[in-house]
């Protein structure tokens, strides 16, 4: 708990938390959220297909 309070929490508050306000998307649980990651991958693929087909 000491390490978390001394290092992790302040670093999160300084570097990570401010970026949430300007992020286009925030994925809860990050890389562990396979449903959200699959949706993002599907969206990127569909956008690439549109570009390739000239739409």
| Residue with the two structure tokens 């300007």 | 22
Instruction: Examine residue 41 and state whether it is found in any structural domain, yes or no.
Output: yes
Instruction: Examine residue 38 and state whether it is found in any structural domain, yes or no.
Output: yes
Instruction: Examine residue 42 and state whether it is found in any structural domain, yes or no.
Output: yes
| Residue with the two structure tokens 């993002």 | 40
Domain range for 45: 25-55
Instruction: Examine residue 53 and state whether it is found in any structural domain, yes or no.
Output: yes
pLDDT at 55 over 70: no
Phi-psi group of 21: left, alpha or beta (phi > 0 → left; psi -120 to 50 → alpha; rest → beta): alpha
pLDDT of residue 54: 84
Instruction: Examine residue 35 and state whether it is found in any structural domain, yes or no.
Output: yes
pLDDT at 50 over 90: yes
Instruction: Examine residue 15 and state whether it is found in any structural domain, yes or no.
Output: no
pLDDT digits (tens, 9 = 90+) for 4-35: 999 999 999 999 999 988 999 989 988 899 99
pLDDT of residue 31: 85
pLDDT at 42 over 70: yes
Instruction: Examine residue 40 and state whether it is found in any structural domain, yes or no.
Output: yes
Count how many domains the chain has.
Answer: 1
Cα(41)–Cα(35) distance, integer angstroms:
10
């Amino acid at each position: 708990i000491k390490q978390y309070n001394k290092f992790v929490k302040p670093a999160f508050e300084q570097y990570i938390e401010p970026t949430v306000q300007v992020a286009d998307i925030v994925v809860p649980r990050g890389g562990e959220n396979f449903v959200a990651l699959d949706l993002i991958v599907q969206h990127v693929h569909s956008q690439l297909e549109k570009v390739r087909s000239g739409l």
